[in-house]
C-alpha cells in the first residue's frame, strides 16, 4: 500500500511542506490502514476511547467515581522505561558519553527503518501536533508525534497542549518542530486479531540530538511512548539548552507563600519515584504557609532580562506514580483525579468500577481485580490463594502503576502555570532515596558546591525503570537517564551557568533526603506534608533568617532552627534523620571517586576540586 492509497481522516490543509512530506514518508514506510490528523477535540477523545474500550485496551470507569476516565492494563513486560534500550545517537560517541547507550545515527536509522517497515499494518497512523510549554512563549517548542497507538493520543491530550490550535499556531508562525515517530511494533496482518496491549519484544527508544528527532519502537508504556515528555522535554531539550545557555531539568516547580505573604519559587530534582509529584502537590502542615503547584516532573529554566533564572513547566498534565498516593499523603492529587478525565494504567480495579492501589485508602477494598487481571483479595493476594508462611503478598497494583490527569484539575494550581515566562526560581533542591548517610537538608556554600551536590546525587533505584530495585546509583541532577549528551559536558554546562551569571541572583542550592531509615527499616522522617518544615527552613535561609551549623558537607539546620512544633517525631529519630556522620561520608568518598572516574576526561576540574575539599574537611 502506498501513502496515496491510504485513507486519510480529518485532513488539515497543510502549508508546512516539511510536515506533509514527513507524514507521507512515514505512511509509505509503515503502511497503516488510515492516517488521522488529530484535532484534540472532545469528540475525538470520545471516539478513541470507544475504540479502545471495544478493543479491550481500556475499561470505562464508573462515572460517579471518576467521570470520563479509563483503566488500562499493559502487557506485563511493558510496565516501565527501558533504560537499556534507550539510545543517544549523536554523530560522535564522545557526545553521548559513558552514561548513555550510543549507536551511530545512520546505523540506528537503518536498523529501525526495517523495524518500521509495515509496522502499522492493520492500524491507524495518528498525527499529533503538540507544543511543550506555551505556544505564546518567545521560542515556542513544537513537536509532532506520529503514533499507531490511540492510548498514546489520549495520553498526549492530557500531557501536552495539542491538536488543531497548536498546528495552526505552528503553521502560522512558520516555526520548526521536532519529529517524534512512534510505533508499538505490532503489525496486524489480514485475519489476525489484536491483543489488548500490542507491543514488541524488540524495543528501541532512540534520539538524534543533532537532527532533533526521536524514533521510538516496540513499547506503549508512557515513559517510552509519550515522546513529548522524557524524549523531547528532557533528552532533546537538554541538548538544545546546552547550545543556547539554558537548563532543561527533571524538576518539579512549586510556589510557596509565607504567612507574611512573601513568595518563593522552588525547583526540585529527585529521581523517578522519589517524591517530585508529592512535593509539587504538598499540603503544608505548618500553619500559615501556602503551597501552589506549577509542575511535577520537568522544568525548563532560562535567564530573564533581570538576571534571574525563570522556570516553566513544559507539560500540561501529571503522569504520576499511583502507589503511595493517598488521601493521607497527597490529598491534592486525589482531588485532581476525582474530577476525572484521566487514564489509569496498571493499577487495580474495584468491583464498583473504580481504581485502587496500595496506599490509596487505609482500608483495602474487600475484592479487586489486580493489574494482571486476576481476582485479588486482601491478605491473600492473587487468585485467593493463601500465601505460604513468610511469603510476600503480591501487590494489587504494579509498583510503577500511573495516573494521567490534567494539571488544570489540581486544586492547588498556581495561576502562573500557563505563563509563557514562568516564575523566578529562588531555590533548587536536589534529593534522592537514601536509607543512610544523606541528612534531611543541607545547604551548599555556593553555586559550584551546589553543582557538586547535584553531580554526586545518589539514589536507590525504583520500579520507574526496568531492572533491579533498591540499588544505590549516582544520578546526576536526577538526570542520569535523561541527559541527551555527555554527562561531563552537562556538568560543565551547569558550572558555566554559574560563572556567566550574578551569584547573588542565582537560586540557592540544597540537598534533601526524605528517605533515611531507622534500624527497624521505618522512615525516620514522616515526609509528605511535613516536608513543609524543611521548605520553611529553606525560605528562611534565603532571607538570611534561619541559623545553620557548618559541617564538612555543607550547612545544616542549627538546633532549634527547624520548625518542629507539633511534629510527632521523637527527638532521637529527628536527630538521626538530620545527622551528618563523618564515618558514613568517608565511606561515600570512594564511591564518588569511582563515579568521577567513570565520567572520565570530561569531568569538570571544579568538581574534582570540590571532592578534594570535601575529603579535606572530613579529615
Q: Is 81 annotated as a binding residue?
A: yes
Q: How far apart are CA 43 and CA 47, in angstroms?
A: 6
Q: Is 408 annotated as a binding residue?
A: no
102 binding partner (options ligand PGA, Mn ion, ligand GDP, none; Cβ < 5 to 8 Å by kind): none
- Closest distance of CB 465 from ligand GDP, Å: 11
Return the residues of window 8-47 that contact ligand GDP according to CB under 6 A. none
Residue number of the CB atom closest to Mn ion: 277
| CA-based nearest residue to 238, from 146, 141, 307 | 141
- Closest distance of CB 166 from Mn ion, Å: 23
223 binding partner (options Mn ion, ligand PGA, ligand GDP, none; Cβ < 5 to 8 Å by kind): ligand PGA
Q: Is 131 annotated as a binding residue?
A: no
Taking the least distance from each CB to Mn ion, the nearer of 150 and 268 is 268
Taking the least distance from each CB to ligand GDP, the nearer of 179 and 326 is 326
Q: Is 531 annotated as a binding residue?
A: yes
528 binding partner (options Mn ion, ligand GDP, ligand PGA, none; Cβ < 5 to 8 Å by kind): ligand GDP
Q: How far apart are CA 218 and CA 119, in angstroms?
A: 10
Out of 100, 272, 401, 459, the only residue in the binding site for ligand GDP (CB under 6 A) is 272
Instruction: Find cell 500490542 and name the residue.
Output: 198
Out of 324, 365, 395, 484, the only residue in the binding site for ligand GDP (CB under 6 A) is 324
Question: How is residue 151 written as a grid cell?
Answer: 492510548
Q: Is 528 annotated as a binding residue?
A: yes
Instruction: Find cell 503547584 and name the residue.
Output: 293
Taking the least distance from each CB to ligand GDP, the nearer of 74 and 183 is 74
Q: Is 434 annotated as a binding residue?
A: no
Q: Choose one: 12-20, 64-72, 139-147, 274-282; the region binding Mn ion (CB under 5 A).
A: 274-282
Out of 72, 273, 334, 355, the only residue in the binding site for ligand GDP (CB under 6 A) is 273
| CA-based nearest residue to 408, from 236, 293, 311, 251 | 293
Q: Using the rule CB under 6 A, is 125 a contact of ligand GDP?
A: no
| CA-based nearest residue to 320, from 433, 417, 405, 409 | 405
Contact residues toward ligand PGA (CB under 6 A) are 81, 223, 272-273, 276-277, 297, 319, 321, 464
Question: How is residue 48 written as a grid cell?
Answer: 478513541
Question: How is residue 513 written as a grid cell?
Answer: 533526603
Cβ-based neighbours of 375, under 8 Å, separated by 6 or more: 367, 368, 369, 382, 383, 384
Out of 238, 277, 350, 443, the only residue in the binding site for Mn ion (CB under 5 A) is 277
Q: How far apart are the first and last CA of the chain?
A: 72
340 binding partner (options ligand GDP, ligand PGA, Mn ion, none; Cβ < 5 to 8 Å by kind): none
Q: Is 109 annotated as a binding residue?
A: no
Out of 16, 134, 183, 272, the only residue in the binding site for Mn ion (CB under 5 A) is 272
Out of 85, 203, 276, 493, the only residue in the binding site for ligand GDP (CB under 6 A) is 276
Q: What is the DSSP letter of 185?
A: S
Q: How far apart are CA 45 and CA 330, in angstroms?
A: 28
Q: Using the rule CB under 6 A, is 274 a contact of ligand GDP?
A: yes
Number of residues that bind ligand GDP (CB under 6 A): 21
Q: Choose one: 75-83, 271-279, 323-331, 442-450; the region binding Mn ion (CB under 5 A).
A: 271-279
- Closest distance of CB 589 from Mn ion, Å: 29
Q: Are 289 and 532 in contact (CB under 8 A)?
A: yes
Q: How far apart are CA 575 and CA 353, in angstroms?
A: 45
Taking the least distance from each CB to ligand GDP, the nearer of 335 and 602 is 335
514 binding partner (options ligand PGA, ligand GDP, Mn ion, none; Cβ < 5 to 8 Å by kind): ligand GDP
Q: Is 274 annotated as a binding residue?
A: yes
Pairing of strands 458-460, 472-474: antiparallel
Q: Using the rule CB under 5 A, is 74 a contact of Mn ion?
A: no
- Closest distance of CB 357 from ligand GDP, Å: 9
Question: How is residue 162 written as a grid cell?
Answer: 495539542
Q: Is 130 annotated as a binding residue?
A: no
Q: How far apart are CA 557 and CA 31, in angstroms?
A: 62
- Closest distance of CB 302 from ligand PGA, Å: 22
Out of 208, 270, 452, 453, the only residue in the binding site for ligand GDP (CB under 6 A) is 270
Q: What is the DSSP letter of 233?
A: I
Q: What is the DSSP letter of 230?
A: I
Taking the least distance from each CB to Mn ion, the nearer of 112 and 266 is 266
- The vertex-532 CA angle with 530 and 533, nearest 5°, equals 80
Q: Where are the alpha helices (DSSP H) in 339-474?
A: 447-455
Q: Are 513 and 420 in contact (CB under 8 A)?
A: no
Q: Is 584 annotated as a binding residue?
A: no
Cβ-based neighbours of 510, under 8 Å, separated by 6 or more: 427, 428, 429, 430, 441, 442, 443, 444, 450, 453, 538, 541
Taking the least distance from each CB to ligand GDP, the nearer of 129 and 529 is 529
* Residues designated as active site: 274
Question: How is residue 536 written as a grid cell?
Answer: 520553611
Cβ-based neighbours of 492, under 8 Å, separated by 6 or more: 602, 604
Q: Is 221 annotated as a binding residue?
A: yes
Taking the least distance from each CB to Mn ion, the nearer of 35 and 152 is 152
Spell 4-30 as b/e; 16+ CB within 10 A means b. Answer: eebebeeebeeebeebeebbeebbebb
Q: Where are the alpha helices (DSSP H) in 293-367?
A: 331-338
Q: Using the rule CB under 6 A, is 320 a contact of ligand GDP?
A: yes
Q: Where are the alpha helices (DSSP H) in 160-269?
A: 164-173, 222-225, 237-244
Out of 297, 315, 460, 606, the only residue in the binding site for Mn ion (CB under 5 A) is 297
- Closest distance of CB 430 from Mn ion, Å: 14
Taking the least distance from each CB to ligand PGA, the nearer of 39 and 249 is 249
What would the DSSP string read from start to end of 499-531? HHS-GGGSPEEEEE-S--B-TTS-BSS--GGGG
Return the residues of window 308-327 that contact Mn ion according to CB under 5 A. 320
- Closest distance of CB 274 from ligand GDP, Å: 5
Taking the least distance from each CB to ligand GDP, the nearer of 277 and 409 is 277
Pairing of strands 355-356, 204-208: unpaired
Q: Using the rule CB under 6 A, is 128 a contact of ligand GDP?
A: no
Taking the least distance from each CB to ligand PGA, the nearer of 69 and 277 is 277
Return the residues of window 519-558 that contact ligand GDP according to CB under 6 A. 523, 527-528, 531
Q: Where are the alpha helices (DSSP H) in 438-581?
A: 447-455, 487-500, 532-542, 571-578
Q: How far apart are CA 588 and CA 142, in angstroms?
A: 42
Q: Is 338 annotated as a binding residue?
A: no
Q: Are 412 and 294 in contact (CB under 8 A)?
A: no
Residues that bind Mn ion (CB under 5 A): 272, 276-277, 297, 320
| Binding site as annotated, residues | 81, 221-223, 230, 250, 272-278, 297, 400-402, 433, 528-531
Residues that bind ligand GDP (CB under 6 A): 270, 272-278, 296, 320-321, 323-325, 329, 514-515, 523, 527-528, 531
Amino acid at each position: 500500500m502506498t501513502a496515496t492509497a491510504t485513507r486519510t481522516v480529518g485532513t488539515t490543509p497543510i502549508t508546512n511542506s516539511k510536515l506533509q512530506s514527513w507524514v507521507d514518508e512515514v505512511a509509505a514506510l509503515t503502511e497503516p490502514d488510515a492516517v488521522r490528523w488529530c484535532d484534540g477535540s472532545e469528540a475525538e477523545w470520545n471516539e478513541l476511547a470507544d475504540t479502545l474500550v471495544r478493543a479491550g485496551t481500556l475499561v470505562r470507569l464508573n462515572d460517579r467515581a471518576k467521570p470520563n476516565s479509563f483503566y488500562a492494563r499493559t502487557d506485563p513486560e511493558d510496565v516501565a522505561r527501558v533504560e537499556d534500550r534507550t539510545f543517544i545517537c549523536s554523530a560522535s560517541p564522545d557526545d553521548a558519553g559513558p552514561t548513555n547507550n550510543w549507536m551511530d545515527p545512520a546505523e540506528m536509522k537503518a536498523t529501525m527503518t526495517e523495524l518500521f517497515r509495515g509496522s502499522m499494518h492493520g492500524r491507524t497512523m495518528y498525527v499529533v501536533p503538540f507544543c511543550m510549554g506555551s505556544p505564546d512563549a518567545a521560542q515556542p517548542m513544537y513537536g509532532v508525534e506520529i503514533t499507531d497507538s490511540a492510548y498514546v493520543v489520549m495520553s498526549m491530550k492530557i500531557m501536552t497542549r495539542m491538536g488543531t490550535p497548536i498546528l495552526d499556531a505552528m503553521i502560522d508562525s512558520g516555526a520548526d518542530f521536532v519529529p517524534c515517530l512512534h510505533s508499538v511494533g505490532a503489525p496486524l496482518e489480514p485475519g489476525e486479531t489484536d491483543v489488548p496491549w500490542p507491543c514488541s519484544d524488540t524495543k528501541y527508544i532512540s534520539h538524534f540530538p543533532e537532527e532533533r528527532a526521536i524514533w521510538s519502537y516496540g513499547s506503549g508504556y508512557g515513559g517510552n511512548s509519550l515522546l513529548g515528555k522524557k524524549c523531547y522535554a528532557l533528552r532533546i531539550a537538554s541538548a538544545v539548552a546546552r547550545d543556547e545557555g539554558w537548563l532543561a531539568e527533571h524538576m518539579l516547580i512549586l510556589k510557596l507563600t509565607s504567612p507574611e505573604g512573601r513568595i518563593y519559587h522552588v525547583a526540585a530534582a529527585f529521581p523517578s519515584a522519589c517524591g517530585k509529584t508529592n512535593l509539587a502537590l504538598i499540603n503544608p502542615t505548618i500553619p500559615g504557609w501556602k503551597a501552589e503547584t506549577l509542575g511535577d516532573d520537568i522544568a525548563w529554566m532560562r535567564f530573564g532580562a533581570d538576571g534571574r533564572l525563570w522556570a516553566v513547566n513544559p507539560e500540561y498534565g501529571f503522569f504520576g506514580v499511583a502507589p503511595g498516593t493517598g488521601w493521607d499523603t497527597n490529598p491534592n492529587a486525589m482531588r485532581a483525579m476525582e474530577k476525572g478525565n484521566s487514564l489509569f494504567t496498571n493499577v487495580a480495579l474495584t468491583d464498583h468500577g473504580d481504581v485502587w492501589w496500595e496506599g490509596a485508602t487505609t482500608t483495602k477494598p474487600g475484592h479487586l481485580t489486580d493489574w494482571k487481571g486476576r481476582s485479588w483479595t486482601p491478605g491473600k493476594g492473587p487468585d485467593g490463594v493463601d500465601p505460604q508462611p513468610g511469603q510476600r503478598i503480591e501487590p494489587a497494583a504494579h509498583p510503577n502503576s500511573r495516573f494521567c490527569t490534567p494539571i488544570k484539575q489540581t486544586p492547588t494550581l498556581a495561576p502562573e502555570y500557563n505563563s509563557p515566562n514562568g516564575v523566578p526560581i529562588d531555590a533548587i533542591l536536589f534529593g534522592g532515596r537514601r536509607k543512610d548517610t544523606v541528612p534531611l537538608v543541607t545547604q551548599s556554600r555556593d553555586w559550584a558546591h551546589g553543582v557538586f551536590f547535584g553531580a554526586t546525587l545518589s539514589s536507590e533505584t525504583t520500579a520507574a525503570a526496568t531492572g533491579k530495585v533498591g540499588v544505590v546509583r549516582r544520578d546526576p541532577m536526577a538526570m542520569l537517564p535523561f541527559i541527551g549528551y555527555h554527562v561531563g559536558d552537562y556538568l560543565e554546562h551547569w558550572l558555566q551557568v554559574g560563572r556567566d551569571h550574578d551569584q547573588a541572583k542565582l537560586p540557592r542550592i540544597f540537598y534533601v533526603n526524605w528517605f533515611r531509615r531507622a534500624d527497624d527499616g521505618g522512615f525516620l522522617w514522616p515526609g509528605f506534608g511535613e516536608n513543609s518544615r524543611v521548605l520553611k527552613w529553606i525560605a528562611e535561609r534565603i532571607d538570611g533568617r534561619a541559623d545553620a551549623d557548618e559541617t564538612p558537607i555543607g550547612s545544616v539546620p542549627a538546633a532549634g532552627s527547624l520548625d518542629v512544633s507539633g511534629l510527632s517525631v521523637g527527638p532521637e529519630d529527628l536527630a538521626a534523620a538530620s545527622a551528618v556522620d563523618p564515618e558514613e561520608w568517608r565511606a561515600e568518598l570512594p564511591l564518588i571517586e569511582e563515579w568521577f572516574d567513570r565520567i572520565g576526561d570530561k569531568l569538570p576540574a571544579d568538581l574534582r576540586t570540590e571532592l578534594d575539599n570535601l575529603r579535606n574537611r572530613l579529615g
